[in-house]
């Protein structure tokens, strides 16, 4: 679930990034409003808003034709919530690239898409990779919040097991241990990927 939400979040930030790094672009106003608003709303509120009233309004407006499943609602909410943070990370990474490189590329006659593809994006990814890895780990842990929508994720299953077994600590100790293991695995993966990117840049 975290992987799907992360991919959707990465896709949804593309329009936001355009507006954040190009102040004259029509998307600038929307991007500023979106990022500032989403970052100011707790993730639990976003999940409840997307999962209940918003999805219900869509179902009513389409006379029941579009009835979004609870799991999809939870994933969409996670993606929306984290897209604002990831957009800011990418913006900071792009702005960290020396402007002289971009100006020199333009002076050499490179087109904007080639500048973005071969100069801006590769360097920006290398810069923001550790921060994006931290966001993925945070997203992984925040998937436990979607249990509020009665989605049978790990947290919800442990709550059900607790109700059946009358055990107080064991179910949530198990859930905590699983999340710790998943977080350690994710952190190791991010570190390995960061090392690969850094070695690739050193060879260049």
Q: Write the pLDDT tens digit of every residue in 64-96.
A: 888 888 888 888 899 889 988 888 888 888 888
Task: State how far the alpha carbon of 60 is from the alpha carbons of 52, 57, 67, 149, in Å.
Answer: 12, 5, 9, 19
Residue 59 neighbours by CB under 8 Å, 6+ apart: 66, 67, 68
Encode pLDDT of 13-64 as tens digits. Answer: 666 566 555 555 666 777 778 888 999 999 999 999 999 998 889 888 888 8
Q: Residue 163 carries which DSSP code?
A: H
Between CA 37 and CA 23 the distance in angstroms is 18
Per the prediction, the chain carries an average pLDDT of 83
Q: What pLDDT, on the 0 to 100 scale, is given for residue 33?
A: 84
Q: What is the pLDDT of residue 47?
A: 93
Task: Compute the average pLDDT of residues 179-204.
Answer: 84
Per-residue pLDDT band for 1 (boundaries 50, 70, 90) equals low
Query: For 13-23, what is each residue's pLDDT tens digit?
Result: 666 566 555 55
Confidence band of 7 (pLDDT split at 50, 70, 90): low
User: Where in the chain are the domains?
Assistant: 2-150
* 47-84 core/surface letters (b: 16 or more CB in 10 A; e: else): bbebbeebbeeeeeeeeeeeeeeebebbbbbbbbbbbb
For residue 78, give every residue at least 6 positions away whose Cβ sits within 8 Å of its Cβ, in sequence order, or none. 1, 2, 5, 9, 43, 47, 139, 142, 143, 146
Mean pLDDT computed over 7-11:
59
Is the whole model's pTM more than 0.85, yes or no?
no
Q: Give the fold, CATH level 3, of 2-150.
A: MetI-like fold (1.10.3720)
């Amino acid at each position: 679930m975290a992987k799907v939400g992360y991919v959707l979040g990465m896709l949804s930030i593309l329009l936001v990034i355009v507006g954040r790094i190009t102040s004259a672009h029509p998307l600038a106003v929307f991007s500023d409003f979106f990022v500032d608003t989403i970052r100011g709303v707790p993730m639990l509120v976003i999940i409840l808003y997307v999962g209940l009233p918003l999805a219900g309004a869509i179902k009513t407006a389409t006379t029941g034709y579009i009835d979004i499943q609870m799991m999809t609602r939870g994933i969409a909410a996670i993606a929306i919530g984290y897209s604002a943070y990831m957009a800011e990370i990418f913006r900071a990474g792009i702005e960290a690239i020396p402007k002289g490189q971009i100006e020199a590329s333009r002076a050499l006659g490179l087109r904007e898409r080639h500048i973005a593809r071969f100069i801006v994006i590769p360097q920006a990814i290398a810069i923001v990779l550790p921060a994006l890895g931290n966001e993925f780990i945070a997203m992984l842990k925040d998937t436990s919040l979607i249990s509020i929508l009665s989605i049978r994720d790990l947290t919800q299953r442990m709550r059900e097991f607790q109700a059946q077994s009358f055990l107080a600590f064991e179910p949530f100790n198990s859930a905590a241990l699983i999340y710790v293991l998943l977080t350690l695995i994710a952190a190791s993966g991010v570190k390995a990927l960061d090392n690969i990117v850094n070695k690739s840049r050193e060879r260049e």
